[in-house]
Structure 1
Amino acid sequence: MTSPPKVPAADQTLRVLSLLAASRGPLAASMIATRLGLPRSTVYHLLATMQEHGFVMHLPEERRYGLGIAAFELSSAYARQEPLARLGRPLLAGLVDRVGLSGHLAVPHGRDVLYLVEERAKGAPALVSDVDVRLPMQLTASGRAILAALPRAQVRALFPGREAFVNLHDAGDDGIDRYSKLRSVLDATSTRGFALERGSVTPGFSSVAVAVLDHRRWPVAAIAVTFRDGEVPDDRLAALAAEVRSATETLTVRIHGRR
């Protein structure tokens, strides 16, 4: 028989976070209470405390709760401790050798992506997407690939208003300054099967990216390649994305994720 937890509040908090992390979208407090067999009053107290510390985000219009930015930062902290970087680095090096373009591996970090690995192609210029650099998620191909794989409600929670959007310059091809524009870009990403950005990060450069999914099909990272505008014709983008997807699928398998 399993002994009761020595710290019930800590146990309950972790169970709530684990349930939210395993769900494809935000949940109502009543549903959380039912699934975990906890009193509703206890669940509301736990959620209020976690919301105060940023681990849970309340969506008042939907009366649901989802993971907050602090929870994403925990995930990013795990990634920064090297498992993804160590597993992804040789795959990225092989991808760069095959396509002759610079590549990088990035993970979500709040509303940003954090670059863990960069492999520069021979003779390629230095890029802004260097190791440990953070960039606004909606501007990068890596970030768009990650966002497109998230539930819509989670994306909306990350970008609740215009103040959540940051642009680096004149916004390139499709400057995103409100949720409707972001949703349009993410829907196109899902339809296309890979993310694409043109000049949003660095004028004159474009990138394609594909997300890496964990065992819940939750996007934990993305692999991207970057090239000068015109270096890859439009009719070759799908073939290039297929090479990127092959690398992401291998990394997905290595972290016991789902392709």
Structure 2
Amino acid sequence: MAPAKPARSDESLKSLTKVSRVLDCFDTAHRSLTLAEICARTGYPRSTAHRLLAAMREVGFIEQERERDAYRLGLRLFELGNTVLANLELNREGRVIVDALHRLTSRAVHLAVFDGHRAVVIQRTEAEPMLSNTMVENSPVHCTSVGKAILAHQPEDIIARVIGAGLERFTETTFTEPDAFRAELDLTRQRGYAIDNGEHQPGLRCIGAPIRNQSGVVFAGISISSPAWQLPMTEVDELNKVVIYHANLISQRLGYVR
């Protein structure tokens, strides 16, 4: 009898999962990590982590710094990321709308897509000076307006998964209690937009609205942000309509019809 093939597939899947966990160790706050730090973050033995890093270095996913025993993400990932962005319809259709919303409000604008765990910001335009930036970064969904605008329209199992992973506290106003957070999502869903009152960054206020794909599924969001003293709550009632309007414009460009 020929040997069963699923075992080999299982091993390949495990290897890919390990590679993914190594990549997840890096972020904008941890651009460079030593082997010991990667082992601590993944829980892998030193030999396993070293073997994975060597293989990832071969294909350009990881680069090793010469000055010290440290690693950083490789340029091959940047090339692949640019390909993803170029092929992402949201990125193409959203660029004009992001710029228009910025010009209209004179505030920073963020366009993000939901990856199932976090809000991946694919475009942002800063308030001063006007700069369009396509640097990809991840944002937590439980304490940002764009994240809450997206999460409020997700199925219960996804909301439960996000809550189960922990509602990390970033500021004094971050929602960390599940019941209070669920109530916030209910309110967001009812009114059609989300507010971030300094929940991720102190003193920053943001308004976010959901974006739907052709099938009407919320998969992304757009937001404006500004220091709270420049964006008082008295202006939120009017500005939310502007954000929602531009979110709907992107949805329509993606083929969504009400």
With normalisation by structure 2, the TM-score equals: 0.62
Inter-partner Cα distance in structure 2 for 1:80 and 1:172: 38
Inter-partner Cα distance in structure 1 for 2:128 and 2:163: 41
Inter-partner Cα distance in structure 2 for 1:228 and 1:150: 29
1:105 matched to which residue of 2? 111
1:209 matched to which residue of 2? 208
2:167 matched to which residue of 1? 165
Give aligned-pair identity as a percent. 21
Provide Cα deviations, 1:154-210, integer angstroms capped at 9, x if missing partner.
312x2352x43223x3x342x222421220110121233210011122111110000
2:136 matched to which residue of 1? 132
Change in 2 beyond 3 A, CA 1:214/1:112 = same
> CA RMSD for the aligned pairs?
2.6
What is the aligned length?
A: 178
Q: Secondary structure at the match of 2:179?
A: helix
Superposed displacement of residue 235, structure 1: 2.2
Query: Which 5+ residue runs of structure 1 have no aligned equivalent?
Result: 1-52, 55-76
Could you tell me which amino acid in structure 1 is paired with residue 236 of structure 2?
Answer: L
1:149 matched to which residue of 2? 153
Change in 2 beyond 3 A, CA 1:153/1:183 = same
> Rg: which structure is higher?
2
Could you tell me which amino acid in structure 1 is paired with residue 166 of structure 2?
Answer: A
Provide Cα deviations, 1:125-154, integer angstroms capped at 9, x if missing partner.
x9xx97311021111100100011123343
Superposed displacement of residue 108, structure 1: 0.6
1:120 matched to which residue of 2? 126
2:187 matched to which residue of 1? 188
Change in 2 beyond 3 A, CA 1:234/1:86 = same
Change in 2 beyond 3 A, CA 1:186/1:130 = farther
Structure 1 segments, 4+ long, off by >6 Å, are 77-80
1:22 matched to which residue of 2? none
